[in-house]
Structure 1
Amino acid sequence: MSTGDSSNLSAGLTKISVLEICLAFLKLGLTSFGGPIAHLGYFRNELVVRRKWIDEAGYADLVALCQFLPGPASSQVAFALGLLRGNGVVGGLAASLAFTLPSAIVLLPFALGSSAFTGPLAEGFLHGLKLVAVAVVAQAVWGMAKSLAPDKPRAAIALIAVAIAVCASGSLGQIAAIAGGSVLGLWLCRDDSTPATGHLSVPVSRRSGAIALVIFLGLFVIPPLLASTTGYQTVALFDAFYRSGALVFGGGHVVLPLLQAEVVTPGWVSNDSFLAGYGLAQAVPGPLFTFAAYLGAVMGPEPNGFAGAAIALVAIFLPGLLLVYGMLPFWDAMRLQPSAQAAMRGANAAVVGILGAALYNPVWTSAVLAPHDFALSLAGFLFLTIWKSPPWIVVVLLALAGVVFHGM
């Protein structure tokens, strides 16, 4: 790291021990319910207001960077804060692991015991979790449409993305929708210019950042080639989750259609297990990306179990961390470019369409099988959007309702 790139943001900040970083983010990992936007609020209260690890302007700059990039925004902010206040990359990884592992550890026993979880009560419980997925994804589409596709041009991009995702199913269709949204954004979204504010500068050299970006691209390109030529399932597993993590724009819920295309379409995970696990993931704190640990554990082909969970978890978080590290020294220059802002607005509108397509298939078609399923899903949606209920309450209510109605 070069001293010439040293930062206004980190200047004068005393280093914090790795243990203190771990304890602070472990507390957040155990208590941060409600999705990435809520997580950022928890971070602000704990680390900006109470601990004073960073000032408001610096924190806003980090949040802006992580929301601009693909990946899990709250986990990327955790990594960046650990990087700034700890011992470089070691501090960043300590923050990421402490924030991520609690929810992954909670999901893992459920995944490992899912094969023994049978019978009418289990079927009703799992169906209730699938109805939770309907309510949560509908809420995500509703909220993201209001913020990411609020005008006619971006609504049009979202509709085009729906058509692409429906006509070209799988990961290639989703990549095409995001790429098409970016191109259309360059044409349709230039007038919506929001001036960039603040200044983000950190002690990461441009050379170090460029190396991280090259590694990110290499891991995006090389594993699929290796998987197709060697047939190694371990490489294919890493590639599926790495590619999903690298393409998530606009929020953690967008990972649902990406992962569904990667693990359900080839038959690695059944659609019922996939949606039940996604519903269960709403009840635990921390980042939604830890759903990957559940999927890695319940895989049909090996590696699965603990090994599959570890590979999936590392693979899905790695691209986001490489991107935030790589972009830190270039962020100030890039965010001032109108073309970059326009392309990102188009890409974000496209992910609304991708998630909207996933709301219908597989979420709706797999869960809403009777009139009472529709009523329960609607009730869950209203609890989340109108009454602002915590997601874990909706999980409990719909899971119990699933048991009751299945018994009837």
Structure 2
Amino acid sequence: MSDPSDPATGERRPAASPRAPGTFRIGSIAGIDVLVTSTWFIVALLIAVTFAPRIDEVQADLGVLKYVAGFVMAVVLYLSVLLHEASHAVVAKRLGYGVTSITLHFLGGMTEIDGQSRKPRHEFWIAVVGPLTSIAIGAVAAGLWFVVPKGLVQLAVGYLAGANLLIGVMNLVPGLPLDGGRVLKAAVWGASGNQHRATIVAGWGGRLTALALLAWPIVMEPLFGLEPTILDVVLVFILGLFLWTGATAAMAHARLRERLPALVARPLARRTLTVPSDLPLAEAVRRAQEEQAGSIVTVAPDGRPLGIVSEAAVIAMPADRRPWVPVSTVARSLEDGLTLPATVAGEDLVLAISRRPAEEYLLVEPDGRIYGVLSTADVDKAFRANAAR
């Protein structure tokens, strides 16, 4: 899957998101971190145990090494999943998107791409290349099955062919969070011009797919004469739950994103007073109250902004100490990411805040003039108000 969510993978996070607990870095591809979650080892062990009897049939003299052979099969399968995810990442980078990482986990993999697709064709190519890669791997492996030596190698190649063909075809099912859902989203987006509506349609595709999957154990016997096992029921439940929750989350996210354009930084900015950094705090507070300013910014003698005075730090400073400490004592330096254009809005505003969390941000005009200070609390309040409409 891609992030824009991927079928065997998942959902997207900002480029600066911290590594999740229980996640290990095993290398990189084209400068993109490749991570493995602890749940992968559970799947690898399950695959090793599941395939041990079949390996025993093909080569009975392995003994306990049949479990090692099964584990190797799991590694080979996930290497093909890695290629699936790498194809998403490479296409995304070629189209100008930042790619944070590739993660292999219990249900497959996830490629974390920074930001939403800008065009329907970008969404289409980033999504469709993954399933096509899996199908290509499966086709090559199927061809090799006829020429490799019989025995364990042929078993592994056949397993690789079947698994990748299944992954590729299943990922083309038109429902989020599968890659096929992204393809459907791109088609509806291109036809309607509305990305959010397209996500809702693809989300319903994912929900219907989940319901069909959950019904599979019920229809197995009457339609095909096969009695479902407990393992069939458990796997179907896990996959159905994954599809339903992923589709529902995508739909909810789309509804919120539809309201994001109404989230604009400029009208949310607080009126700002600029003061020298060595001015006593008491005098800075007095001037701010006199001018009814909601924030204070310290500046250098040449007018260059240096820091934003923390409202919480001012409140925490005892009143009897304020005349004796410079205002710079309670000001946060303007590090990278704390200065934003006054025109920032919508998704760009949310991403900027998520990349560099802080209580306040300095808003500046295109010519560098200070416009005001944006409080995260004010943004959160406006976001909740928009989401509630």
TM-score bin, normalised by smaller chain: under 0.3
Taking CA–CA contacts closer than 8 Å with sequence separation of 6 or more, which of the two structures ends up with the larger relative contact order? 1
Which protein is richer in strand relative to its size? 2
Higher helix share: 1
User: Please, what TM-score do these two structures have when normalized by structure 1?
Assistant: 0.24
Computing the radius of gyration from Cα coordinates, the structure with the larger value is 2
TM-score by length of 2: 0.24
